[in-house]
Chains A and B, each alone.
Chain A
Amino acid sequence: GDSVTQTEGPVTVSESESLIINCTYSATSIAYPNLFWYVRYPGEGLQLLLKVITAGQKGSSRGFEATYNKETTSFHLQKASVQESDSAVYYCALGDQGTGYQNFYFGKGTSLTVIP
């Protein structure tokens, strides 16, 4: 089926260290997958962090990057130097470009704590 698997949390990183949160997907019924990272900061709603709709492309936002790798079916989230304000729960999501109304498949989230 269609699904997303991501790094199980919680993840704790010291400020200024690098970060990678792994995300792999299975898109058996989706011909043209779209990939997204969402973030939920403490006390806030789910926000779109970045998106990539074309395989091989990279998305970036707020210092985070993710590359859509069709060969390895992965969309890992990376940041070279995290800040305390990056503490949040990160969700990888898979959508379907082929339909006009994509319902997303989400990973279970990765809770990140950045220690100052």
Chain B
Amino acid sequence: NSKVIQTPRYLVKGQGQKAKMRCIPEKGHPVVFWYQQNKNNEFKFLINFQNQEVLQQIDMTEKRFSAECPSNSPCSLEIQSSEAGDSALYLCASSPPRGYEQYFGPGTRLTVL
């Protein structure tokens, strides 16, 4: 079973508010991913890190979304100004060195009212 920890499990925000969620990857996993799963069950890749460095991020992430993976602290994903369309399940995953698979946390369910 995955040991990726995500907090909080549920997050409720008003439009325009900041929303921040955290992820602790499995120990020893250098690569961390963030995905958004919407109500239609579609996954959207947002950003990934190797150690503290951003590897890839989509355009959406560059505008209102910010993320970081500081050394010795949880990774975080923050939405600066939440919109109704941001309501989704946000999944964090980590990948072991030279590994092909990803291990997922339980997710943070964001509801933007």
The residue among A44, A46, A95 with the most chain B CB atoms within 10 A of its own CB is A46
B11-46 interface mask toward A, CB cutoff 8 Å, 1 = contact, 0 = none?
000000000000000000001010100001111010
In the bound complex, how far is the Cα of B40 from the Cα of A101, in angstroms?
A: 26
User: Chain B's interface: helix, strand, loop or mixed, by majority?
Assistant: strand
In chain B, what residue has the closest Cβ to A103?
Answer: B45
- Whether B105 pairs with A45 at a CB distance below 8 angstroms is yes
B36 to chain A, nearest CB (A): 11
B93-107 interface mask toward A, CB cutoff 8 Å, 1 = contact, 0 = none?
001000011111111
A10 to chain B, nearest CB (A): 12
In the bound complex, how far is the Cα of B56 from the Cα of A47, in angstroms?
A: 24
Q: Which of the residues A34, A53, A108 comes within 8 Å of B41, measured between beta carbons? A: A108
- Which residues from chain B contact A36 at a C-beta distance below 8 Å? 101
- Which residues from chain A contact B42 at a C-beta distance below 8 Å? 106, 108
Is B7 on the interface with A (CB-CB < 8 A)? no
In the complex, how many residues of chain A place their beta carbon closer than 8 angstroms to a beta carbon of chain B? 22
In the bound complex, how far is the Cα of B102 from the Cα of A34, in angstroms?
A: 12
Is A20 on the interface with B (CB-CB < 8 A)? no
In the complex, how many residues of chain B place their beta carbon closer than 8 angstroms to a beta carbon of chain A? 24
Give the residues from 73 to 113 in chain B that come closer than 8 angstroms, CB to CB, to chain A.
Answer: 91, 95, 100-107
- Whether A45 pairs with B2 at a CB distance below 8 angstroms is yes
The residue among B41, B103, B106, B107 with the most chain A CB atoms within 10 A of its own CB is B41
A26 to chain B, nearest CB (A): 15
- Whether A97 pairs with B100 at a CB distance below 8 angstroms is yes
Is A115 on the interface with B (CB-CB < 8 A)? no
In chain A, what residue has the closest Cβ to B102?
Answer: A104
- Whether B101 pairs with A51 at a CB distance below 8 angstroms is yes
In the bound complex, how far is the Cα of B107 from the Cα of A105, in angstroms?
A: 17
- With A45-B104, A109-B41 given, can you name 9 additional A-B contacts, CB distance below 8 Å? A44-B106, A45-B106, A46-B104, A48-B101, A48-B102, A53-B100, A89-B41, A101-B31, A101-B56
